[in-house]
Chains A and B, each alone.
Chain A
Amino acid sequence: MSLFDDIVEIYPELTSQDFEPKGSIELRNDADDRGDYIFKWDYSKPIPKGMKLGKPKA
């Protein structure tokens, strides 16, 4: 399960369009072994529990 899958499972109304450029959510992976993370969250509902904005600490 990717981070995208985890988010869409909680908010099934979201589609990949919400994650595209100019969408309300931006996920990133900086290829530094810290994995996918939420870079931007402008969606009207809160960030799901257990997730947070920003890159996880190494």
Chain B
Amino acid sequence: MATTTNYSWTTPDDTALVKDGASAIRSLGTAIDTTTKNLNPSTTLGDIEYRSSTTNTNTRLGIGSTGQVLTVAGGVPSWATPTASTPAFVGVSCTNTAGTTQSISTATWTAITFNAEDFDTDSFHSTSSSTSRITIPAGKAGKYLLTSHVYLDSSSGTGRRFGSFYKNGAEAQVARVEVAVSTGTYIGMVNTIILNLAVADYVEVYFYQSSGGTLSTAGEVCSFQAQYLGA
């Protein structure tokens, strides 16, 4: 008796006498049925199959439950419930205590200081020394989202007002913003940027005003924040 190439189903030889055709067809049909079922063992809505270690035999994998995802365990597919995890926040928010002000001379780029913190996960900032700086600690090099808010008094509507981020004492690229001024209107300057920072790099907020005299910040509504985005 001959056999088929892929599934070895038994068929009559070309020279065989067809004296028992019904039996031969029945045997072939049974073999086809068995093979088909081995390849498609699904029984239930949502079933999927994957190849098993047995030739021409697939394994049925029943549908998972709502929210599960297809994964691999022990070298075969399986459904699993994703592990819920909230990444730990890494960053700092610098502020000032109530009543704090900082004088800014006219036409002078001045670092804004911060003597308080809302939070500081990794000692990025000190409230007692170099208080204008956020410094990258060991193990935390990478991309940082920086945001700042500088609030300045309304005594002058003269000149221009700029704000910018400085990295290691030099203005960061594409970091400068300017707002229009008018007498009687406080200046609230918001700035944001993403910078790539290495360990020991420090960043600061600098402000410039050209009113012709000294202006003061309303320190308690000034802020400087850094959020670690990743390496």
List A residues at the B interface (Cβ < 8 Å): 2-5, 16, 19-21, 26-32, 36, 39
Given the known interface contacts A20-B160, A31-B132, A32-B130, the answer about A39 and B109 at a Cβ–Cβ threshold of 8 Å is: yes
| 1/0 contact string of B150-171 vs chain A (CB within 8 Å) | 0000000001101000000100
Work out how many contacts link A and B, with CB atoms closer than 8 A. 60
Contact of B105 among A2, A30, A39 (CB under 8 A): A2
Q: Are B105 and A31 in contact (CB under 8 A)?
A: no
Chain A hits for B106, CB < 8 A: 2, 4-5, 16
Q: Please measure, in the bound complex, the distance between the C-alpha atom of A39 and the C-alpha atom of B169, giving whole angstroms.
A: 11
Q: Indicate if B191 sits at the interface (CB-CB under 8 A).
A: no
Q: Are A31 and B131 in contact (CB under 8 A)?
A: yes
- Closest A residue to B159 by CB, please name it: A16
Contact of A2 among B131, B206, B214 (CB under 8 A): B214
Give me 18 A-to-B residue pairs in the complex whose CB atoms sit less than 8 angstroms apart, sorted by A's number: A4-B105, A5-B106, A16-B160, A16-B210, A19-B108, A20-B208, A21-B208, A26-B109, A27-B109, A28-B206, A29-B105, A29-B108, A29-B111, A30-B111, A30-B132, A30-B169, A31-B111, A31-B113
Chain B contact patch, size range: 20 to 34
Q: Please measure, in the bound complex, the distance between the C-alpha atom of A30 and the C-alpha atom of B168, giving whole angstroms.
A: 11
- Closest B residue to A4 by CB, please name it: B107
Q: Please measure, in the bound complex, the distance between the C-alpha atom of A4 and the C-alpha atom of B132, giving whole angstroms.
A: 22
Pick the 5 closest A-B CB pairs, nearest first. Answer: A19-B107, A16-B210, A31-B111, A27-B108, A29-B110
| 1/0 contact string of B80-109 vs chain A (CB within 8 Å) | 000000000000000000000010111111
Q: Indicate if B176 sits at the interface (CB-CB under 8 A).
A: yes
Chain B hits for A2, CB < 8 A: 105-108, 214
- Closest A residue to B114 by CB, please name it: A31
Q: Are B110 and A28 in contact (CB under 8 A)?
A: yes
